[in-house]
Structure 1
Amino acid sequence: MSSLRAKIQDVFNEPACESNRGKDAKARKKGCSKPLTPGAAAGGCAFDGAKIVLQPITDVAHLIHAPLACEGNSWDNRGAASSGPTLWRTSFTTDLTELDVVMGRGERKLFKAIREIQEAYGPPAIFVYATCVTALIGDDIEAVCKRAAEKFGLPVVPVNAPGFVGSKNLGNKLAGEALLEHVIGTVEPDDAAPYDINILGEFNLSGEFWLVKPLLDRLGIRVRACIPGDARYFDIACAHRARAAMMVCSTALINLARKMEQRWDIPFFEGSFYGITDTSEALRQISQLLVKKGADPEILGRTEALIAEEEAIAWKKLAAYWPGLEGKRVLLNTGGVKSWSVVHALMEIGIEIVGTSVKKSTVEDKERIKQILKDDNHMFEQMAPRELYAMLSEHKADIMLSGGRTQFIALKAKTPWLDINQERQHPYAGYDGMVELVRQIDLAIHNPIWRQVLEPAPWDCQPAVRDELPSTKSETPTLHVVQEFAGTTADDFGEC
Structure 2
Amino acid sequence: MLTEVRDAVCIVHGPSGCVHHNFSLLHATLLANDRLEVPRLLSTGLTENDIIFGGEEALEEAIARGLSLSPAPAAVFVLSTCIVETIGDDTEAVCAKARGVPVIAVPTAGFLGGVFETGVKNALSAVASLARPAPAAEKTLSANLVGEKNLEYGVDENAAEIARLLSRLGIGINLRFVRGIGTEDVGRLGSAAVNVLREPALRPVGEDLRRRFNTPYVDSFPAGLAGTRRFLEEAGRVCGIDASAAVEEERAYQAEMLSRFSEIAGSRVCFRSPHPMLETDPDAVAVCTECTEALNLTVDPDGAAIPFPYPAPVGTAGTRRMLHRWSVLIRGKERK
TM (normalized to structure 1)?
0.55
Work out whether residues 275 and 430 of structure 1, in 8 Å CA contact, stay in contact via their aligned partners in 2.
Answer: yes
Map of 1:399 onto structure 2: 306
Residue 66 (structure 1) aligned with residue 14 (structure 2): yes
CA displacement, residues 386-407 of structure 1 (integer Å, 9 cap, x when unaligned):
xxxxxxxx979823347xxxxx
Mark the CA change 1:67 to 1:310 in structure 2 (over 3 Å): closer, same or farther. Answer: same
Whether 2:144 is the aligned partner of 1:198: answer: yes
- 1:438 and 2:323 equivalent? yes
Residues 94 and 240 (structure 1 numbering): CA distance in 2 closer, same or farther, change over 3 Å?
A: same
Per the TM alignment, residue 228 of structure 1 is displaced from its structure 2 partner at its CA by: 3.0
CA separation of 1:126 and 1:335: change in aligned 2, threshold 3 A: farther
2:103 aligned residue: 156
**One-letter identity of the residue aligned with 1:400:** P
1:342 corresponds, among 279, 284, 306, to: 284
Contact preservation (8 Å) 2:224, 2:319: yes
Query: Residue 138 of structure 2 aligns to which amino acid in structure 1?
Result: A
User: Is there any run of 5+ residues in structure 1 with no aligned partner, and where?
Assistant: 1-52, 292-296, 353-393, 403-419, 422-426, 452-496
Hey, what's the Cα distance between the residues in 2 that align with 1:156 and 1:85?
Answer: 27
What's 1:16 paired with?
none
Query: Are positions 1:141 and 2:124 aligned together?
Result: no
**Partners in 2 of 1:55 and 1:317 — Cα distance?**
40
The one-letter code sitting in structure 2 at the alignment partner of 1:398 is A
Match of 1:331 in 2: 273
CA distance in 1, matches of 2:195, 2:38: 25
User: Aligned to 1:114, which of 56, 60, 63?
Assistant: 63
Match of 1:280 in 2: 229
Q: Summarize deviations over 1:13-66 as a string: whole Å, max 9, x none.
A: xxxxxxxxxxxxxxxxxxxxxxxxxxxxxxxxxxxxxxxx54544443221111
Q: 2:80 touches 2:105 (CA, 8 Å); kept in 1?
A: yes
Contact 1:201 1:228 in 2 (8 A): yes
User: How many residue pairs end up in the alignment?
Assistant: 321
Within a 5 Å distance, the mapping from 1:16-165 to structure 2 comes to: 54-75=2-23, 76=25, 89-104=39-54, 106-120=55-69, 121-147=71-97, 150-151=98-99, 153-165=100-112
State the Cα distance separating 1:85 from its structure 2 match: 9.4
Per-residue deviation at 1:351?
7.1
CA distance in 2, matches of 1:435, 1:256: 30
Deviations 1:201-237 (A, max 9, x none): 3225332213332333454312223333444433434
Partner SS for 1:286: helix
CA distance in 2, matches of 1:214, 1:351: 26
SS of the residue aligned with 1:122?
coil
Partner Cα separation in structure 2 for residue 444 and residue 397 of structure 1: 6
Could you tell me which runs of 5 or more consecutive residues in structure 2 were left unpaired when the two chains were aligned: 295-300
Q: Indicate the SS of the match to 1:62.
A: strand
**1:301-333 residue CA offsets vs partner (Å, 9 max, x unmatched):** 552354245323422333344344x54333355
Letter in structure 1 aligned against 2:323 = V
CA distances 1:342-381 after superposition (whole Å, capped 9, x unpaired): 22221121179xxxxxxxxxxxxxxxxxxxxxxxxxxxxx
> Cα distance, 1:123 vs. partner?
2.7
- Give 1:383's aligned residue: none
Deviation at residue 256 of structure 1 after TM alignment: 1.6
SS in 2 for 1:164: coil
Given candidates 155, 164, 176, the residue that maps to 1:214 is 164
Q: Given that residues 196 and 242 in structure 1 are in contact (C-alpha distance below 8 angstroms), is that contact kept between their aligned partners in structure 2?
A: yes
What's the CA shift for 1:290? 0.8
Letter of the 1:101 partner, please give it. I
- State whether structure 2 residue 304 is matched by structure 1 residue 304: no
How much is the aligned-residue C-alpha RMSD, in angstroms? Answer: 3.8
Answer whether contact 2:169 2:243 (CA < 8 A) is retained. no
Question: How far did residue 286 of structure 1 move?
Answer: 0.9
Taking the aligned partners of 1:84 and 1:270, their CA distance within structure 2 comes to 30
SS in 2 for 1:173: helix
In structure 2, the CA distance between the partners of 1:256 and 1:350, relative to structure 1 (3 Å rule), is: same
One-letter code of the match for 1:431?
Answer: T
Q: Secondary structure at the match of 1:89?
A: coil
* Structure 1 residue runs of 4 or more that deviate by more than 6 Å after TM superposition: 83-88, 394-397
Q: Match for 1:322 among 250, 265, 290?
A: 265
State the 1:135 CA deviation: 1.8
TM superposition shift of 1:93:
1.5
| Structure 1 SS opposite 2:78 | strand
Q: Deviations over 1:143-186 (max 9, x none)?
A: 22122xx22x2221110221212222333333344345x33427
Q: Does the aligned pair in 2 maintain the 1:203–1:229 contact within 8 Å?
A: no
Change (3 A) 1:134 1:126: same
SS of 2:68's equivalent in the other structure is: helix
